Structure 1
Amino acid sequence: MFSMKKDLQLEQFSGPLDLLLSLISENQLDISQIAISKVTEQYLDYLSQLDESKAEELADFLVVASKLLLMKARKLMPQFALAEEEGPSLEDQLRLYKLFVDASRKINSLWDQPQRGFFRVEPPRKAEGFVWPENVDPQAMKETFLHLLSRLKPPKDLPQAYIDKAISMKEKIDTIRNLLKKRKKAYFFDVLDQAQNKTEIIVSFLAILELVKQRTVFLSQDSTFGDIAMEAVRDEKELI
Structure 2
Amino acid sequence: MFDYKVKLDVFQGPLDLLLYLIKELEIDIYDIPMKVLSKQYMDYIASMKALEINVASEYLVMASELLKIKSKMLLPEPPISDEGDPRDELVGQLLEYQNYKAYAESLESLMASQSKIMTKAPQEMQEIDIASSTLNVDIQDLIHAFNKMEQRIKMKEEASFVIHRDTMSHEEASDYLNRQFNYKHQMSLHEVFETLEGRHRIVTVFIVVLEHIKNHVITIGRRDDDTIVLERPA
Q: TM-score, normalised by structure 1?
A: 0.30
Larger Rg: 1
> Which has the higher relative contact order, 1 or 2, with Cα contacts under 8 A spaced 6 or more apart?
2
Q: TM-score, normalised by structure 2?
A: 0.31
